[in-house]
Amino acid sequence: MNIHYYGRQPCKVLVHKDDLPDNIQKSDSVAIDTETTGLHLYRDRLCLVQLTFNDGICHLVQIDKDVKEAKNLISILSDKKIEKIFHFGRFDMAMLYQTFKIMPDPIYCTKLASKLVRTYTDRHGLRELCRELLGEDISKDKQSSDWGMDQLQDDQKHYAAKDVIFLHQLQEQLNVMLNREGRQDLAMACFEFLKHRVKLDCAGWHDVDIFAHL
């Protein structure tokens, strides 16, 4: 177990192999991110799933290339009483769906929310959101890293936890803005549609906009 500090916030980082433990403490929302061998949906594979229930603990689940079942992780992904918070959920959800054949639901995507309400900028990355809305400056220097190695390095664990530890706070701030601008219902409709967009991606329409005129 490692304890890292994110701003003033301490977080325990726990590493698991292939699944979450049976006795994990759950809540009604969980922040989720993934790390993969690359960004190609059909070529690359899922290596790591990061989760936090906003309780000061970040779980890092290393996924072996031959693993197709992870009953405790799948239970959380499919539990409709637990909201899953992503940043750019389209990619993470696709990788989870490709690996486990489970579509996370219901979901909240901070990147989609940002695009709907932060229309004064075209910068919707996690680092920019954390800097503007939370006053936190997070590094992305380990984004291009070998996540398939057997033992994660300490700086990889620290990086992976940062990708989820602020998502609950970002959701709270973005909801304030969405409500202020009257776009909360539109956001929820987009989140609901995202699982269908992901299924299109996984079925081969990842680079085609079927709604376009041409």
**pLDDT confidence of 69, banded at 50, 70, 90?**
confident
Q: Which residue has the tokens 């936190």?
A: 136
**pLDDT confidence of 142, banded at 50, 70, 90?**
low
Q: What is the pLDDT of residue 66?
A: 86
Mean pLDDT of all residues in 63-80: 93
pLDDT tops 90 at residue 203: yes
Report the alpha-carbon distance of residue 34 to residue 185 in Å, rounded.
27
Q: What is the pLDDT of residue 4?
A: 61
**pLDDT confidence of 8, banded at 50, 70, 90?**
low
Report the alpha-carbon distance of residue 10 to residue 200 in Å, rounded.
39
What are the pLDDT digits (tens) for 119-135?
999 999 999 999 999 99
Q: What is the pLDDT of residue 196?
A: 96
Task: Give 141 or 154, the one with higher predicted confidence.
Answer: 154
Q: What is the pLDDT of residue 11?
A: 86
Q: Domains in the chain, start-ordered, CATH in brackets? A: 2-205 (3.30.420.10)
What are the pLDDT digits (tens) for 175-196?
999 999 999 999 999 999 999 9
Nearest to 95 by CA among 46, 33, 26: 46
